[in-house]
Amino acid sequence: MTQLFNASTYLLDRQLENGGADRVALTGVAGEHTYGDLHQRVLRLAGGLRAAGLAPEQRLIMLMADSPDFVAVYLAAMRIGAIPVPVSTMVRPYELAGLLHDSRARLCVVSHEFAELAAGALAPVPPPDLAGVLLGDGAELDVPVPTHALSAVAGAAPDEAVYPTGEDSPAFWLYTSGTTGDPKGAMHRHGSIRVVCETYGTQVLGIRRDDRCLSAAKAFFAYGLGNSILFPMSVGASAILEPAASKPETVAARAASYGATLFFAGPTFFANMLRAGLPANALAGVRLAASAGEALPSALYERWTAHFGVDILDGIGMTEMLHIFLSNRRGQVRPGTTGFAVPGYDLRILDDSGVEVPDGTPGTLFVRGGSTATGYWSRYAASRQVFQGEWLRTGDTYVRDPDGYYVCLGRTGDMLKASGIWVSPAEVEDRLLAHPAVAQAVVVSAPDTDGLEKPVAYVVLAPDVSAVSVSETELIEFCRAGLPSFKRPRKIVFVTSYPTTATGKIRRVELRASATTLLAEPAPA
């Protein structure tokens, strides 16, 4: 017989049973909410969602800002056996319409900030399975489906019944960002939440009950969901929720106002914090930072930690794995690497023929662990390509050094060959970032006049530095001095920003497309 387990009771009820009802669960601009407050809110929403017709295993799309409502809806849906599906708040109307159709969602919950976006997705013909839209904070929609105020739904009588789920029961979905095709719904089970909390959260991050978590990454995707909900609630800690778009100045203000002790972001945001000119004591109360989403260049790590005095644990996670499975450790950080496997996860690096490679040889990283999604919703071929038995193909090129540290060389499709030799964009980017004038760098391949691949770099300069004070030739020569000649960029393009996905990752595919004509004329020799 299946042993009962529900992720909502694991995260919430357990804290009340441990005497934590009066502890602060959520704080921020929306006010403080204790675990006891949140529990009552979830029970009422559970009753309201049931009354609204949401049945077990039916999908509930969440187009919501990071807020107490987000947390309560997410937990209440899982409590009744339904499947919450947080989606990016940066989607366009046609993209949201596609997600509603693909998921066959029964209900959609919309924060007031995104009412107009939802209206565009639902008009003129809404998805056939959608029975209604729940609107937050007095938002109004003129759409051809029934709408209800979320506050009214949350005003139902408390419903303490917990649907009899097990660890392997479907719990929630997360859509991939779709950088290599249409977004795919990664299906996660209830047990995956406990796995990530008790592996990365406890054994690597070392989260404590007195911590306050602040995440620049939003809760609609895997990294932010763990940072702002799963990890803090698993130990009775507090989450600082910020509904507005993350900006360096805003994040620093929230860290100071609400006493952040753990801070989560990605490399691009860390770079933006330096460019914003924040004071060195802006994160004075933070004891540790974590990075994921992209490899953290060693030069950026050194600059950021030297300025703010806070260490960063760089790691890698995937939507399909729910959170981080490979990470540096406190006291063992080696800049420019992604560290070691998180306890509970196994890693291997395979060549194109599926053979495991020795240390020092690049290959594609595979991971095995208890938080792996069960597959993609209605994507048989894609599931077979990524979920290979017990192992998941990450699509990242890695190499393991003799000391056992894993080094990211980029996405498997990002690697390039110059002069017949494989070149990692990350290595060239790291060299460029070592120049004091460079704030960010992205290296892609471009064909030269002979049709051969060569590296080119898109560079964002540091604050108060202009392309007049540092030239393309200077940066190329700087790379030539620190890298083999074939790895130096053949051209430098100065930009002010990069195209990014909904989750903040740089869209290298767009940069590669724009680079196709860059080497039509000779660059500096």
Render each residue's pLDDT in the chain as its tens digit; 525 residues.
579 999 999 999 999 999 999 999 999 999 999 999 999 999 999 999 999 999 999 999 999 999 999 999 999 999 999 999 999 998 889 889 999 999 999 999 999 999 999 999 998 888 999 999 999 988 888 888 999 999 999 999 999 999 999 999 999 999 986 434 578 999 999 999 999 999 999 999 999 999 999 999 999 989 999 999 999 999 999 999 999 999 999 999 999 999 999 999 998 889 889 989 999 999 999 999 999 988 888 988 999 999 999 999 999 999 999 999 999 999 999 999 999 999 999 999 999 899 999 999 999 999 999 999 999 999 999 999 999 999 999 988 999 999 999 998 877 777 776 765 668 888 899 999 999 999 999 999 888 876 767 899 999 999 888 777 899 999 999 999 988 788 899 999 999 999 987 667 888 889 988 999 999 765 455
Domains by residue range for the chain, with CATH? 7-26+33-187 (3.40.50.980), 415-520 (3.30.300.30)
Are 454 and 445 in contact by the 8 Å Cβ rule? The answer is: yes
Six token digits for residue 231:
């990890």
Using a 10 angstrom Cβ sphere, with 0-12 exposed, 13-18 middle and 19 or more buried, the burial of residue 444 is buried
Neighbours of 59 (CB within 10 A): 27
Other Cβ atoms closer than 10 A to 439: 19
**Residues of the chain above pLDDT 90, percent:** 78
| Count of CB atoms situated within 10 Å of the CB of 15 | 24
Look at strands 33-34 and 24-28 and give their pairing.
Answer: antiparallel
Angle between helices 68-79 and 35-51 (to 10 degrees): 60
Contacts of 458 (CB under 8 A, 6+ apart): 441, 442, 443, 444, 493, 495, 498, 511
In three-state secondary structure terms, 37 is helix
